[in-house]
Structure 1
Amino acid sequence: MNTKSLKILESLAKEASMKGVVKREVSIEAVRRVIRALYRLGIADFWTVTSNSGEYIIDVFKIMLTLLEKGIVERKDKDMLTLTNKGIQLAQEDLKFKHKDFFTCKSCSGKTIVIKGKFLEIYKKYSKIVSNRPKVKYEYDQAPIHPQDAINRMVFLYEKGDLEGKEIILLGDDDLVSLAISLTKLPERVAILDVDDELLSFIKKVSEKEELNIEVIKHDLRHPLPENLAGSFDVFFTDPPDTLWGLILFVSRGVESLRKDIRGVGYFCMTHADCPLERWRRVLDAVLKMGMVPTDIIHDFNTYVDLDVSSEDYVTEGIGKYFSPPKAPWYKSSLIRIEKAGELKPYIEGEMKGEELYDYLLI
C-alpha cells in the first residue's frame, strides 16, 4: 500500500473511530474492506455490505457514517448505498481496486461440499420435517440457519469422518442439526442438550416417529454437564451466542463432553459481523488452552434466516436509526472444526454466573 493510500485510510479510520456510541478504534484495513465491498457490489444495503466486507458491524456502521459524510458514498432509494464518483475515483486510483468479479465456487458457495445422492433425499425429507418447527425464541438468543445449511453441516461431518459410528452431542440445537445427522442413521449415538422445552419436545416427537433414538435432555449450559455425559462423546457440535463468554462457555462444555482416550473432535460457529478479530483471538486462544487445535475454518458456511436485529449491539450503537431492518438473510458465520491435540482441559469447569454470557459488546 502506497503512502498516499495509507494517509487517506488513516484519516478516514480516525474520523470513523469518533462516530457512533460505542467507543472503539477503527482500523485502516476495515475502512479499505468496506470500500472494496461496496465497489464490488455496486449498490447494496448496509447489511449486505457488512456481510460482504467480513468486518465487525459496529466498525462498518462507523465507517459508513464517515463515508456518507465525506461524499464517498451516497444513498439510493433510502436504504441502498453506492459509491459516488468521488468514491469510485478513490477506489480505482488510490486504493487500486480493479476487478468486481466474485470467484467463490458457485457449485458449493465456498462450503467445500455439495449435497447429492442419498443426502439429497435426506435434505428433502428434513425440509418437510422442519417446516413445522417451533417458533423462534429470541429470549434464548435463537437464530436458526437455513435448512440447507443444516444438511451442509451434516455432509461436512460425513466428509471429515466425524459421522459414521460416532457418538455425537449437540450443545443447543435451535438449528435442528440433531435431526439432520440422525436421519442418515450413521452415528452410533446422538444426544442433544437445550433449555427450550418446546424445541426439545419437537425433536423428541420426530425422533420417536422416525425411530432416530435421539437422547433429548433439558440442561442449562451455565451449569457443568451431567456426570453421565461428561467424557462420553467422540464429537460435539455447538453454535453459541457470538459473545466472548458465550463462545468460550459452549466450547468448554463441548470439550468437557469428549472422551479422553481418543482424538476427539468439536465444531462451533463464529461470525465476523458480531465478532471483531480481537474476540476471535481470545476465543481461539482459549481453544488452544483447552487442548484443541483448529483444523478447518470455512468462511460464510452458515446463513441465518430469522435474526433479530432489534436487540444486541445494533441498538446500543444506533444502527436502526440510520438503516432499515434487512429485507433478506445477510448474517453468516464460519464453521470451525477443532481436534484434540493435547490434554483436554475445559476452560470453565464450574458454574457460569453473571450477565456476561449475552454481552455482545464485551470484546
Structure 2
Amino acid sequence: MKRHEAETKLAELIEATKEEAPIPFSPRDAERALSALLATDDLWEVVRLSHAPMRFLCAFWNRMVKDGLLAATDGRLKLTDKGRDFALALGVSPAREAVCDACEGRGVDFRKLFREAAERFVDICKNRPEAIQDYDQGYVTEATTLARIAFAWQRGDLEGKEIIVLGDDDLMSIAAALTGAPKRVLALDIDERLVDFINEVAEREGLTNLQAAKHDLREPIPEEWLSAFDTFLCDPTESFVGFKAFVERGLLCLKGVGSAGYFGLTHVESSLDKWARIQQFLLESGAVITDLRDDFSGYVNWGYIETMRSWEWLPTKAKPKGIWYCSAFYRIELLRKPQLENKKLEGNIFEDEEAATT
C-alpha cells in the first residue's frame, strides 16, 4: 500500500468511526493507536499505550476488524498482514517506552522522603474499603499515593500547610498525615465507608492533624472551608462538570496567591480537546499549570470491570491482568484569587460522551 492510499484509508476510517463515537479524535490520535497495536497484542496494554479516549479506540478497533485490518480474539488485538502494511505505509512505528526503574517514570522517588510512614501506609491500606461503581471509584497503587505526597512535599506544598483532599478513595489524606509534615489535613468524601475508615485510622494511629467529613461535592462548600487551605489534592471524575465539581471546589478552598492544587487526568476518558478546555478553565480561574507528569498514577484494577460502560464496546473481552488505567498528575498554583461561584452543581457529574468506566 502506498502512502497516499494509506492516508486516504485512515481518513475514511476516522470518519466512519466518528459516526459511531462522535468525540474529538485526530489523525495523530489514530497514529498513536496504530503505534500501540504494533507494540503489543494485549488489549489493555494497547489502551494504555494509545493515549486516546477509550470510546473512540473501541469504535476504531471494531471498524478495523470489519475492514480486515485487525483480528480480535481472546482479549488479543493483532494486526492482520493488511493492517500491518497499512500502519507501515503511514510511517507508524511501534510505541516505545524508556521508563526509569527507580521512580517508575514519575520523576520522584518517595523512598527518599518516606521511611516508616511508607510501611505504615501500606499496612493500613490492607483493610481499605473496596472501590465501588456508584461513585466512579477506582483507587491508585500505594506507590502512586506515596509518590503524589512526596511530589507535593518537595514542591513545598505539604510541610506546615493546611491540606484539603476532595474525594479520597486513594487515601492521600492518610499518607500526608503519616508524614507528620502538614499542620492540618481534611478529607471530604460522599462515601461514608471512606469517611469512617479515615477517622478510625486517625484515632488508631494518633494522627491528631487528620480528620474526614462527609460532603457531596455537588453541594456548595461550607463557609468554614472557603479560603482556608494552602493546598488541595483530588482525583476528579472526568466529565467536564464532574471535573469542575472537584477542582473548582478545590480552588474555592485555597487561601489565595501562591496556594497550590493537585489533580489527575487521563487520556482514557479525556480527549486532548477536553484537556484544552480544562486548561483554559484553569487559566481563566487565575491558576497556572506549573507541573504536568503524564502516566504518573497507576490504578489497581477495580472489581466492576465487566459492568463499566466500555466493556460492551470492546471487540474482544478479557479482564486486565496488569495496570492499564493511568493518569497524568497536574500541579497548579494560584496567581490571583479565583472569582468562582460557590453554588450547587446540577446534572450527572459522572458521565459524558467520553466516559468509559462508569
TM-score, normalised on structure 2? 0.91
Q: 1:25 Cα deviation (Å)? A: 6.0
Query: Which stretch of the first structure deviates more once superposed, 281-290 or 160-169?
Result: 281-290
Equivalent position to 1:177, from 172, 175, 189 = 172
Q: How does 1:132-211 map to 2 (within 5 A)?
A: 132-211=127-206
Q: How does 1:1-363 map to 2 (within 5 A)?
A: 3-19=4-20, 22-24=21-23, 26-41=25-40, 43-45=41-43, 47-76=44-73, 78-92=74-88, 94-98=89-93, 101-213=96-208, 214-260=210-256, 262-307=257-302, 308-311=304-307, 313-314=309-310, 318-320=312-314, 322-346=316-340, 348-354=341-347, 356-361=348-353
What code does the residue aligned with 2:191 have?
Answer: D
On the 8 A contact 1:269/1:335 being kept in 2, the answer is yes
What's the secondary structure of 1:132's corresponding residue?
Answer: coil
What's the secondary structure of 1:36's corresponding residue?
Answer: helix
On the 8 A contact 2:261/2:331 being kept in 1, the answer is yes
What's the secondary structure of 2:72's corresponding residue?
Answer: strand
What code does the residue aligned with 1:255 have?
Answer: L
CA distance, structure 1, for counterparts of residue 113 and residue 15 of structure 2: 54
Q: CA RMSD in A?
A: 2.1
CA distance, structure 1, for counterparts of residue 32 and residue 65 of structure 2: 16
CA distance, structure 2, for counterparts of residue 74 and residue 237 of structure 1: 42
What's the secondary structure of 2:349's corresponding residue?
Answer: helix
What code does the residue aligned with 1:185 have?
Answer: G
On the 8 A contact 2:292/2:331 being kept in 1, the answer is yes
On the 8 A contact 2:250/2:261 being kept in 1, the answer is yes
Q: 1:231 Cα deviation (Å)? A: 0.5
CA distance, structure 1, for counterparts of residue 252 and residue 280 of structure 2: 17
Q: 1:323 Cα deviation (Å)? A: 2.5
Q: 1:332 Cα deviation (Å)? A: 0.9
What code does the residue aligned with 1:12 have?
Answer: L
Q: 1:50 Cα deviation (Å)? A: 1.4
Highest RCO, 1 vs 2 (Cα 8 Å, sep ≥ 6): 2
CA distance, structure 2, for counterparts of residue 163 and residue 60 of structure 1: 38
What's the secondary structure of 1:301's corresponding residue?
Answer: strand
CA distance, structure 1, for counterparts of residue 251 and residue 266 of structure 2: 21
Q: Which runs of 4+ in 1 moved over 6 A?
A: none
What code does the residue aligned with 1:353 have?
Answer: E
- Relative to 1, partners in 2 of residues 1:362 and 1:81: Cα closer, same or farther, differing over 3 Å? closer
Number of aligned residue pairs: give it: 351
CA distance, structure 2, for counterparts of residue 310 and residue 227 of structure 1: 41
Q: 1:23 Cα deviation (Å)? A: 3.6
Query: Which stretch of the first structure deviates more once superposed, 178-187 or 304-313?
Result: 304-313
Q: 1:34 Cα deviation (Å)? A: 0.7
Q: Unmatched 5+ residue regions in structure 1? A: none
Q: 1:283 Cα deviation (Å)? A: 1.8
What's the secondary structure of 1:109's corresponding residue?
Answer: coil
Q: 1:320 Cα deviation (Å)? A: 4.9
What's the secondary structure of 2:223's corresponding residue?
Answer: coil
Query: Which stretch of the first structure deviates more once superposed, 216-225 or 331-340?
Result: 216-225
Q: 1:10 Cα deviation (Å)? A: 1.0
1:101-147: CA deviation from partner (whole Å, max 9, x where unpaired): 42232322221111324514322221111101123232122111111
On the 8 A contact 2:54/2:354 being kept in 1, the answer is no
What's the secondary structure of 1:357's corresponding residue?
Answer: coil
Q: 1:24 Cα deviation (Å)? A: 4.0
CA distance, structure 1, for counterparts of residue 169 and residue 4 of structure 2: 49
- Relative to 1, partners in 2 of residues 1:322 and 1:81: Cα closer, same or farther, differing over 3 Å? closer
1:270-313: CA deviation from partner (whole Å, max 9, x where unpaired): 11101122222222221112111111111111111143334554
Q: Unmatched 5+ residue regions in structure 2? A: none
Report percent identity of matched pairs: 31
What's the secondary structure of 1:71's corresponding residue?
Answer: coil
CA distance, structure 2, for counterparts of residue 292 and residue 90 of structure 1: 43
On the 8 A contact 1:14/1:26 being kept in 2, the answer is no
